[in-house]
Amino acid sequence: MERRDASSTNADWMSQLPEELWGTPLWDLAIPGSHDSMSYCLDTHSPVLGSESFMLQFLDRLAPCIVRPCVYRWATTQEALSTMAVWLEQHQKEVVILSCSHFYLLTDSEHQALVCYITQLFKDKLCPPQETPYLSQCWDLGQQVIISYDDETILHQHKQLWPKIPYWYADSADPKEVISYLEERQKAQGRAAHFFTSGLNLTEDTAVVVCNPCLTMRKLTMKSFSLLLDWVEKQTPGPNQTAVNIICGDFVGLNHFASVVIGLNKKLLKTESHR
């Protein structure tokens, strides 16, 4: 499979898909995502002003899919979401999936304020969960944003929100164990009916930190990416039980991760031609 340079843009990859795939449900496409897209919000000492340029670089260089932002305070998330709204105006055939989870210290009123802000910001661009989203329909309706919200109480109060997107996560620092988990656990149980995520992110446990005091998460991830991407290249999207949908990792802007995931959709063309 051709590997494009990491610096090449994938900002308009959905609109560049072959027409044969415009009627494919989004959960049957291969979609690249980032596990750490808003994790800067967890650092109360970090400058939030840096989020705007980060989000622009993420959206333009990787892909229009933001997965699992960690929300520390809803107010600190506003700059990044506003930047996303501006980006969507510039790329009106791209769809963003935003999975809100890991809410830290949010009160009920802050949950309500966050959802209110999201719905007012995106308005008619929101794609509700009552529909099966596929590209041509989203384009016709002007829908560009799918919001998954990992809080059952809030979810029942706001019909525009999608339920939690299952995230398959090995919780290991060993890339071989991550791959084994995805192969044995995820594929044995079968894919979810709608959106689901295969997590390639690694986790440093106490033993790894103690034995490798100079090994940062970034170094650990980059050392493992070749093996992880080899696994990605062998995957196929689609409705089958062993298919992939959203594939997520850390530091995905530093390599050709997004291009490899997007390239998997070419395999669907072969499937379509045999029908």
Range of weakest confidence among 181-190, 210-219, 252-261: 210-219
3-48 pLDDT, tens digit each: 444 435 788 999 999 999 999 999 999 999 886 555 433 333 333 3
Mean pLDDT score of the chain, rounded to an integer? 77
Contact assessment for residue 105 and residue 138, using Cβ atoms and an 8 Å cutoff: no
Distances, alpha carbon 263 to alpha carbons 88, 143, 229, in Å: 22, 24, 12
Whether the pLDDT of residue 115 is over 80: the answer is yes
Q: Which residue(s) pair with 101 in the sheet?
A: 70
Q: How far is CA 32 from CA 2, 27, 137, 248, in A?
A: 16, 12, 21, 6
Higher pLDDT, 58 or 91: 91
CB-based contacts of 275: which residues, under 8 Å, 6+ apart?
none
From residue 20, how far is each of 86, 136, 149, 228 by CA, in Å?
29, 10, 31, 29
- Output the pLDDT for position 191: 86
Task: Tokens 């690249």: give the residue.
Answer: 32
Residue predicted with more confidence, 78 or 265: 265
Side chain identity at 10, as an amino acid letter? N
Residue carrying the six token digits 């210290």: 105
Given a cut of 60, whether residue 51 has pLDDT beyond it is no
β-sheet bridge partners, residue 73: none
* Whole-number pLDDT of residue 272: 57
Query: What is the set of domains in the chain, with CATH numbers?
Result: 20-267 (3.20.20.190)
- Span 129-160, pLDDT tens digits: 988 999 999 999 999 999 999 899 999 999 99
Helices 108-122, 74-90: inter-axial angle, 10-degree rounding: 10
pLDDT at 11: 84
Please determine, for residue 238, whether its predicted confidence score (pLDDT) is greater than 90: yes
Q: Which residue has the higher pLDDT, 275 or 102?
A: 102
